[in-house]
Amino acid sequence: MNPFARYGFAVLLLAGIAVAESKVKMENLPPAVQKTVKEQIQNAKLVGLSKEKEGGQTVYELETVVNGKSRDLMIDSAGTILSVEDEIALDSVPEPARKAIQQKAAAGKITKVETVTKGSEVSYEAAYTSKSGKKAEYGVNADGTPHK
């Protein structure tokens, strides 16, 4: 593939990603989503609201801070909470999951750890910067197996 075609494809790909998520204002949310957002920010600081498509479904991301820790929620158009990501300390992660995260990050620096709750399923996600400076994320289940 010639360099110009590759560059054009990359631009189109990035444009598609940029369109996938857009910032929204509270008053532009569907009433059911507004209700859920208002309930969730009663004891939290609102950081951001965005609208995106996931698997062909419109979902809304609510970004908040509670007690100095990030808390992000994915909400569907009916106002149902689909998932919650809560920032936590690494030492509060179950030992098998913590060891898997530390092994994956190796000599890099773990910058953030979250619980990810979808229904009754809980997993853990860590953001880290590798020794070479590359930023990445890694998700694991409580038993330390990779989370898909």
What residues does each domain of the chain span?
22-141
Place of tokens 């930023």: 135
Q: Give the C-alpha separation, 72 to 83, whole Å.
A: 8
Taking residues 46-74, what's their average pLDDT? 95
Query: Considering only 15-19, 66-70, 119-123, which range has the smallest mean pLDDT?
Result: 15-19
Domain covering 22-141, topology: Nuclear Transport Factor 2; Chain: A, (3.10.450)
Q: What does the block give as tokens for 141?
A: 């289940």
Q: Give the C-alpha separation, 137 to 148, whole Å.
A: 12
Q: Is pLDDT at 21 greater than 90 in this prediction?
A: no
Pairing type for strands 69-76 and 57-66 reads antiparallel
- pTM comes to 0.81
- Please list the alpha-helical segments (H only) found in the chain: 3-20, 31-40, 95-105
Q: Is pLDDT at 20 greater than 80 in this prediction?
A: no
